[in-house]
Amino acid sequence: TPPPTPGSAAPVLGAFGPPDPSYVGGPPAKDRPVGHPLPSPSSPEPGGRGVSLSAAVGGKKRPRALSCTLVLSVAGALAVATTAAVLFNVLPGDSGDSKDQSAGKPHPSATEQNPGDGDADSGSGAVPKPFLGTWQGDLTSDSGIPVGTLTITFRQGRTGQDVASGRVKLSVLRCDSTWKLVSAAPKELHLDARLKGSEPQQGCSDASTDEQFTLTSDGTLSYQAKDKAAGDPTGTLRKLK
Protein backbone atom coordinates (compact mmCIF):
# COMPACT_ATOMS: atom_id res chain seq x y z
CA THR A 1 0.00 0.00 0.00
CA PRO A 2 1.54 3.39 -0.94
CA PRO A 3 2.62 5.51 2.03
CA PRO A 4 0.44 8.49 2.95
CA THR A 5 1.22 11.75 1.15
CA PRO A 6 2.52 14.63 3.29
CA GLY A 7 -0.76 16.50 2.90
CA SER A 8 -2.90 13.71 4.25
CA ALA A 9 -0.53 11.85 6.51
CA ALA A 10 -2.14 9.94 9.31
CA PRO A 11 -0.44 9.81 12.71
CA VAL A 12 2.61 7.59 12.69
CA LEU A 13 1.89 4.42 14.65
CA GLY A 14 4.05 3.83 17.69
CA ALA A 15 5.27 0.42 18.77
CA PHE A 16 2.83 0.51 21.71
CA GLY A 17 0.49 3.17 22.93
CA PRO A 18 0.21 6.72 21.59
CA PRO A 19 3.41 8.08 20.00
CA ASP A 20 5.01 11.40 20.86
CA PRO A 21 3.31 14.23 18.90
CA SER A 22 6.67 15.00 17.32
CA TYR A 23 6.43 11.75 15.37
CA VAL A 24 3.29 12.80 13.52
CA GLY A 25 4.01 12.89 9.81
CA GLY A 26 7.22 10.91 10.21
CA PRO A 27 8.95 9.12 7.35
CA PRO A 28 7.00 6.40 5.50
CA ALA A 29 7.41 2.84 6.75
CA LYS A 30 9.25 1.87 3.58
CA ASP A 31 12.16 4.11 4.60
CA ARG A 32 12.68 2.19 7.86
CA PRO A 33 14.90 -0.91 7.97
CA VAL A 34 13.01 -4.17 7.68
CA GLY A 35 12.81 -6.04 10.97
CA HIS A 36 13.03 -3.02 13.28
CA PRO A 37 10.33 -1.57 15.50
CA LEU A 38 8.63 1.69 14.66
CA PRO A 39 9.98 4.78 16.47
CA SER A 40 8.93 5.21 20.08
CA PRO A 41 10.13 8.07 22.29
CA SER A 42 10.32 5.86 25.37
CA SER A 43 11.89 2.82 23.73
CA PRO A 44 15.74 3.04 23.69
CA GLU A 45 16.18 0.02 21.46
CA PRO A 46 14.17 -2.20 19.12
CA GLY A 47 12.22 -4.97 20.77
CA GLY A 48 9.08 -6.98 20.32
CA ARG A 49 6.18 -6.75 17.95
CA GLY A 50 3.32 -4.37 18.40
CA VAL A 51 0.68 -2.04 17.07
CA SER A 52 -0.90 1.07 18.49
CA LEU A 53 -3.20 3.97 17.69
CA SER A 54 -2.19 7.55 18.39
CA ALA A 55 -4.80 8.17 21.10
CA ALA A 56 -4.47 8.46 24.87
CA VAL A 57 -5.18 5.49 27.14
CA GLY A 58 -6.93 7.00 30.15
CA GLY A 59 -3.80 8.65 31.51
CA LYS A 60 -2.08 5.34 32.18
CA LYS A 61 1.57 4.93 31.46
CA ARG A 62 1.71 3.45 27.97
CA PRO A 63 3.76 0.31 27.39
CA ARG A 64 6.64 0.34 24.98
CA ALA A 65 7.41 -2.00 22.06
CA LEU A 66 5.68 -5.28 22.84
CA SER A 67 6.71 -8.79 21.93
CA CYS A 68 4.33 -10.05 19.24
CA THR A 69 1.51 -8.02 20.71
CA LEU A 70 -0.33 -4.88 19.88
CA VAL A 71 -1.70 -2.04 21.92
CA LEU A 72 -4.78 -0.09 20.93
CA SER A 73 -6.25 3.02 22.47
CA VAL A 74 -9.79 1.65 22.64
CA ALA A 75 -11.30 5.08 23.07
CA GLY A 76 -9.46 6.33 19.97
CA ALA A 77 -10.44 3.30 17.91
CA LEU A 78 -14.12 3.71 18.71
CA ALA A 79 -14.32 7.50 18.68
CA VAL A 80 -11.95 8.52 15.87
CA ALA A 81 -13.44 7.04 12.71
CA THR A 82 -10.82 8.60 10.47
CA THR A 83 -7.98 6.91 12.33
CA ALA A 84 -9.70 3.54 12.03
CA ALA A 85 -10.18 4.12 8.31
CA VAL A 86 -6.47 4.79 7.84
CA LEU A 87 -5.53 1.65 9.75
CA PHE A 88 -7.76 -0.45 7.48
CA ASN A 89 -5.70 0.75 4.53
CA VAL A 90 -2.19 0.35 5.95
CA LEU A 91 -2.25 -2.63 8.31
CA PRO A 92 -1.35 -5.98 6.72
CA GLY A 93 -3.60 -8.89 7.60
CA ASP A 94 -6.84 -6.93 7.73
CA SER A 95 -9.48 -6.46 5.04
CA GLY A 96 -7.80 -3.33 3.72
CA ASP A 97 -4.82 -5.18 2.23
CA SER A 98 -6.49 -8.44 1.26
CA LYS A 99 -6.01 -7.65 -2.42
CA ASP A 100 -2.23 -7.30 -2.01
CA GLN A 101 -1.79 -10.48 0.00
CA SER A 102 -4.27 -12.81 -1.67
CA ALA A 103 -2.17 -13.61 -4.73
CA GLY A 104 0.06 -16.61 -4.25
CA LYS A 105 -0.30 -16.75 -0.47
CA PRO A 106 -2.78 -18.61 1.75
CA HIS A 107 -4.58 -16.59 4.38
CA PRO A 108 -2.59 -16.84 7.66
CA SER A 109 -5.61 -18.06 9.60
CA ALA A 110 -5.78 -21.17 7.43
CA THR A 111 -2.46 -22.27 8.85
CA GLU A 112 -3.11 -21.12 12.39
CA GLN A 113 -6.34 -23.03 12.74
CA ASN A 114 -5.05 -26.27 11.24
CA PRO A 115 -2.67 -27.94 13.71
CA GLY A 116 -2.85 -31.23 11.83
CA ASP A 117 0.69 -30.94 10.53
CA GLY A 118 2.04 -30.72 14.08
CA ASP A 119 -0.04 -33.64 15.29
CA ALA A 120 1.00 -35.82 12.36
CA ASP A 121 4.67 -35.92 13.32
CA SER A 122 4.29 -35.52 17.07
CA GLY A 123 6.56 -38.52 17.62
CA SER A 124 9.74 -36.75 16.49
CA GLY A 125 11.10 -33.42 17.58
CA ALA A 126 11.66 -31.41 20.73
CA VAL A 127 8.16 -30.02 21.32
CA PRO A 128 6.28 -31.98 24.03
CA LYS A 129 3.04 -33.47 22.71
CA PRO A 130 0.73 -31.58 25.14
CA PHE A 131 1.73 -28.30 23.48
CA LEU A 132 0.71 -29.37 19.97
CA GLY A 133 -2.43 -27.74 18.64
CA THR A 134 -4.04 -24.29 18.65
CA TRP A 135 -4.22 -22.08 21.74
CA GLN A 136 -5.80 -18.70 22.38
CA GLY A 137 -5.92 -16.11 25.15
CA ASP A 138 -5.95 -12.40 26.00
CA LEU A 139 -2.73 -10.56 26.86
CA THR A 140 -2.06 -7.56 29.10
CA SER A 141 0.97 -5.40 29.74
CA ASP A 142 2.56 -4.88 33.14
CA SER A 143 0.52 -1.66 33.32
CA GLY A 144 -2.70 -3.66 33.10
CA ILE A 145 -3.53 -2.46 29.59
CA PRO A 146 -5.10 -5.03 27.20
CA VAL A 147 -2.72 -5.65 24.31
CA GLY A 148 -4.73 -8.05 22.16
CA THR A 149 -5.70 -11.68 21.74
CA LEU A 150 -2.97 -14.17 20.91
CA THR A 151 -3.84 -17.20 18.77
CA ILE A 152 -0.95 -19.62 18.23
CA THR A 153 -0.66 -23.10 16.70
CA PHE A 154 2.24 -25.34 17.79
CA ARG A 155 3.66 -28.07 15.56
CA GLN A 156 6.54 -30.47 15.99
CA GLY A 157 10.12 -29.39 15.39
CA ARG A 158 13.62 -29.17 16.78
CA THR A 159 15.65 -26.40 18.35
CA GLY A 160 16.27 -23.64 15.83
CA GLN A 161 13.29 -24.60 13.67
CA ASP A 162 9.96 -22.83 13.29
CA VAL A 163 7.50 -24.67 15.52
CA ALA A 164 4.55 -22.29 15.73
CA SER A 165 2.59 -19.68 13.80
CA GLY A 166 -0.19 -17.35 14.79
CA ARG A 167 -1.31 -13.80 15.31
CA VAL A 168 -2.10 -11.11 17.84
CA LYS A 169 -5.30 -9.21 17.08
CA LEU A 170 -7.19 -6.34 18.64
CA SER A 171 -10.20 -4.84 16.88
CA VAL A 172 -9.11 -4.07 13.28
CA LEU A 173 -5.41 -4.42 14.11
CA ARG A 174 -3.49 -7.61 13.41
CA CYS A 175 0.11 -8.88 13.39
CA ASP A 176 0.91 -12.34 11.99
CA SER A 177 4.03 -14.08 13.32
CA THR A 178 6.13 -17.23 13.20
CA TRP A 179 7.89 -18.68 16.28
CA LYS A 180 11.27 -20.44 16.35
CA LEU A 181 12.14 -22.91 19.11
CA VAL A 182 14.92 -21.67 21.39
CA SER A 183 14.67 -24.37 24.06
CA ALA A 184 12.22 -27.01 25.27
CA ALA A 185 11.47 -28.79 28.54
CA PRO A 186 8.61 -31.19 29.37
CA LYS A 187 6.38 -28.33 30.54
CA GLU A 188 8.04 -25.24 29.14
CA LEU A 189 8.98 -23.75 25.77
CA HIS A 190 11.09 -20.71 24.98
CA LEU A 191 10.38 -19.27 21.54
CA ASP A 192 11.67 -16.41 19.41
CA ALA A 193 9.04 -14.66 17.26
CA ARG A 194 9.24 -12.74 14.00
CA LEU A 195 6.66 -11.21 11.69
CA LYS A 196 5.56 -13.21 8.66
CA GLY A 197 6.41 -12.07 5.15
CA SER A 198 9.36 -10.33 3.57
CA GLU A 199 7.78 -6.89 3.76
CA PRO A 200 7.44 -4.97 7.05
CA GLN A 201 3.91 -4.79 8.43
CA GLN A 202 3.05 -1.16 9.06
CA GLY A 203 2.01 -0.67 12.66
CA CYS A 204 3.72 -3.90 13.80
CA SER A 205 7.22 -3.85 15.24
CA ASP A 206 9.53 -6.84 14.91
CA ALA A 207 12.58 -7.96 16.89
CA SER A 208 13.93 -11.03 18.67
CA THR A 209 12.48 -11.66 22.10
CA ASP A 210 12.29 -14.53 24.56
CA GLU A 211 8.69 -15.71 24.87
CA GLN A 212 7.91 -18.36 27.47
CA PHE A 213 5.00 -20.82 27.29
CA THR A 214 4.44 -22.97 30.41
CA LEU A 215 1.95 -25.81 30.89
CA THR A 216 0.02 -25.41 34.14
CA SER A 217 -1.77 -27.93 36.34
CA ASP A 218 -5.21 -26.86 35.07
CA GLY A 219 -4.29 -27.58 31.45
CA THR A 220 -3.79 -23.98 30.34
CA LEU A 221 -0.67 -22.31 28.99
CA SER A 222 0.92 -19.46 30.89
CA TYR A 223 2.43 -16.92 28.46
CA GLN A 224 5.14 -14.43 29.38
CA ALA A 225 7.41 -12.26 27.27
CA LYS A 226 10.60 -11.37 29.12
CA ASP A 227 11.18 -7.94 27.66
CA LYS A 228 11.28 -4.85 29.89
CA ALA A 229 11.05 -2.54 26.88
CA ALA A 230 7.87 -4.34 25.84
CA GLY A 231 5.98 -3.97 29.12
CA ASP A 232 6.45 -7.66 30.03
CA PRO A 233 3.19 -8.93 28.47
CA THR A 234 1.49 -11.91 30.09
CA GLY A 235 -1.61 -14.00 29.53
CA THR A 236 -3.34 -17.36 29.93
CA LEU A 237 -3.97 -19.44 26.80
CA ARG A 238 -6.57 -22.19 26.46
CA LYS A 239 -6.49 -24.97 23.92
CA LEU A 240 -8.99 -24.68 21.08
CA LYS A 241 -8.13 -28.02 19.44
Q: What is the DSSP string of 78-115?
A: HH-HHHHHHHHHH-TTSGGGHHHHHTTS--HHHHHT-T
pLDDT tens for each residue of 77-119: 444 444 443 333 334 343 344 444 444 444 444 444 444 344 4
Whether the per-residue pLDDT at 184 is higher than 60: the answer is yes
Using the 8-state DSSP alphabet, how is residue 15 labeled? Answer: S
Q: Contact at 8 Å (CB) between 222 and 236? A: yes
Degrees, nearest 5: CA angle 33-200-17: 90
Q: Which CATH class is domain 1-241?
A: mainly beta
Q: How far apart are CA 215 and CA 182, in angstroms?
A: 17
Q: What is the pTM of this model?
A: 0.53
pLDDT class for 8, splitting at 50, 70, 90? very low
Q: Are 72 and 52 in contact (CB under 8 A)?
A: yes
Type of residue at 209: T
First to last CA, the chain: 35
Q: Is the pLDDT higher at 235 or at 123? A: 235
φ, ψ for residue 180, nearest 5 deg = -105, 140
Contacts for 155 with CB less than 8 Å, ≥ 6 apart: 115, 117, 118, 119, 121, 127, 132, 163, 164
- Confidence at residue 205, expressed as pLDDT on a 0 to 100 scale: 59
Measure the CA–CA gap between 157 and 121, rounded to whole angstroms: 9
Sequence-distant (≥ 6) Cβ neighbours of residue 133 within 8 angstroms: 115, 118, 119, 153, 154, 239, 240, 241
Question: What mean pLDDT do residues 170-180 have?
Answer: 86
pLDDT at 160 over 50: yes
Q: Give me the pLDDT at residue 60, please.
A: 52
pLDDT (tens digit per residue) in 43-76: 444 444 544 444 444 555 554 444 444 444 433 4
232 sits in the region (left: phi over 0; alpha: psi -120 to 50; else beta) called: left
Q: Of 201, 191, 183, 108, which Cα lies nearest the Cα of 154?
A: 191
